[in-house]
Amino acid sequence: MKSIYLDYAATTPCAPEVADAIAACLTLEGNFANPASRSHRYGWQAEQAVETARGQVASLIGADTREIVWTSGATESNNLAVKGFVEALRREQPQAPLHIITSAIEHKAILDTVAYLEAWHKVDVTYLAPNADGLIQPTQVADALTENTCLVTLMAVNNELGTMTDIPAIANILKRHKALLHVDAAQAVGKLEVNVNDWGVDMLSVSAHKFYGPKGIGALYVRRDPQVPLVSQIHGGGHERGMRSGTLPTHQLVGFGEAARLVSEQLAMDEARIRELRDRLWAGISELGDVWINGHPEARVANHLNVSFAAVDGEILLASLAKVAVSSGSACTSASVEPSYVLKAIGRSDQLAHAGLRLSVGRYTTEEEIDFAITEISRVVSLLRKQ
């Protein structure tokens, strides 16, 4: 076995059905046209394909098709939701004090966005600290609410730990408050059942490449009743009901829709099989001793396993695992030599935070690959501990 892929949390390969659907939209013989070209049948067919995909994505998360706004991915969705909402409030009340609640272990797409609002729009931000299991508790949100709180933005599933936040409980707290709830669900959609109405969210970010769709495409769910006010962050044509301008990429959206359809059909089966593989992996590498699970052992999605190895240099460990593709944390910060800010936030020492690995399993992982990974990780860790 040459090399295996255990970094499904960073990105997933396109499902074969998705790749076929995308390819069919690229050439003259396919559905290649601009969906905004309404003067000929090529454009009509492209628009119909885009709207079919919109319906498939909406169905996956229990939304109305009119509540789906296409974006380039979860990062843009997060920016549109958070900055777009704050700017809409600022237009109504330029000097009003505004307060946002988030957590210290959010993805950088949220942390950098709220930091921008702090610096340039004078928005107060509360960063909730996770407990030792990497969980943000609903009571923390309740305690942090003020009369100026306009938005709570929390991820449904942490991208490094895989830990899950009790979004419905937080939404229930906010029923008695004016603040809206935005959820970064990039690591949740496709891995567990997500229903925006059952969860009670106002906005929700989705990324196609996290569940076997193409990169470069995503969506933002924006509740219609009552309508969430948003100021567009990209101007130039008024597409997506004025919330996001730009020519829609038919091929990517068709792929996004097909990935959503497949997940809708296969989620329960995929989740059960992936959980068994993840647990098999943990059972194997835990025999090394001095291996720590990072994050809650139960309140996490099936595909994530984040572990730290005592008495091992993290950078050397990662470099030595050439035959097993894993990450030291978020793919967006993997070039950093700093210890994971998420692992530090849950109380891990610098050594354990540096020696943390995120191993993530997916639809195409096999038992043979898991057994190979156990053997290879055990071999490398054992060698490093003898040095």
pLDDT for 336 equals 56
- Domain span at 366: 4-12+267-386
Nearest by Cα to 54 from 198, 244, 188, 231: 244
pLDDT-derived band at 237 (thresholds 50, 70, 90) equals confident
**Mean pLDDT of the 185-204 span:** 98
Question: Residue 335 has what pLDDT?
Answer: 55
The CATH code of the domain that includes 346 is 3.90.1150.10
Whether residue 245 sits in one domain with residue 164:
yes
> How many distinct helices (H) and strands (E) make up the chain?
12, 12
The verdict on 310 and 298 lying in the same domain is yes
Residues 190 and 296 in one domain: no
pLDDT at 301: 98
Q: Of 237, 261, 285, which residue is a domain's last?
A: 261
SS3 at position 304: strand
Domain boundary among 261, 291, 310: 261
Q: What are 27's two structure tokens? A: 């050439």
For the stretch 25-39, pLDDT in tens is 999 999 999 999 999
Position 349 confidence tier, pLDDT thresholds 50, 70, 90: very high
pTM comes to 0.97
173 has a pLDDT exceeding 60: yes
Nearest to 274 by CA among 282, 286, 264, 285: 282
Residues 238, 132 share a domain = yes
- Distances in Å between the Cα of 191 and the Cα atoms of 213, 214, 227, 260 are 13, 16, 28, 11
Token pair for 96: 């009003």
pLDDT digits over 90-107, tens only? Answer: 999 999 999 999 999 999
For the cut 70, the answer to whether the pLDDT of residue 294 exceeds it is yes
Catalytic one of 14, 25, 150, 332:
332
Q: Is the pLDDT of residue 6 over 90?
A: yes
* pLDDT at residue 387 in the model: 79
Are 212 and 259 in contact by the 8 Å Cβ rule? The answer is yes
Ranking 118-132, 211-225, 275-289, 336-350 by mean pLDDT, the lowest is 336-350
Residue type at 355 in one-letter notation: A
Are the C-beta atoms of residues 66 and 242 closer than 8 Å to each other?
no
**Mean pLDDT of the 118-147 span:** 97
Quickly state the pLDDT bin for 338 (edges 50, 70, 90).
Answer: confident
Please give the Cα distance from 208 to 134 (Å, whole number).
25
Give the C-alpha separation, 169 to 192, whole Å: 17
pLDDT beyond 70 at 323: yes
Question: Which H helix or E strand runs over 71?
Answer: strand 68-71
Q: Which of 232, 261, 290 is the last residue of a domain?
A: 261
Q: What percent of the chain has pLDDT over 90?
A: 95
Residues 6+ apart with CB under 8 A from 188: 155, 156, 157, 164, 194, 301
- Report yes or no: 214 and 20 within 8 Å, Cβ to Cβ: no
Same domain, 240 and 274: no
Note whether 122 and 247 are same-domain residues.
Answer: yes
Same domain membership, residue 119 and residue 202? yes
In the chain, the number of structural domains is 2
- Mean pLDDT, all residues of the chain: 96
pLDDT of 337 strictly over 90: no
How is residue 164 annotated by DSSP?
B
Judge whether residue 333 has pLDDT over 80: no
Residue 233 has pLDDT above 70, yes or no: yes
> Using 50, 70 and 90 to split pLDDT, how confident is the model at 1?
low
| Mean pLDDT on 162-182 | 98
CATH number of the domain that 40 lies in? 3.40.640.10
Catalytic site includes residue 14 = no
Residue 54: pLDDT band by 50, 70, 90 thresholds? very high
| Amino acid making up residue 308 | S
pLDDT in tens, 256-287: 999 999 999 999 999 999 999 999 999 999 99
Q: Average pLDDT of 148-156?
A: 98
Pair 372, 332 in one domain? yes
Q: 52 and 185 share a domain?
A: yes
Is 238 in the same domain as 316?
no
Residue 15: predicted pLDDT: 98
Same domain flag for 231 and 287: no
- 140 and 253 in a single domain? The answer is yes
Q: How far is CA 89 from CA 75, 171, 274, in A?
A: 21, 21, 43
DSSP assignment letter at 204: E
CB 11 within 8 Å of CB 215: yes
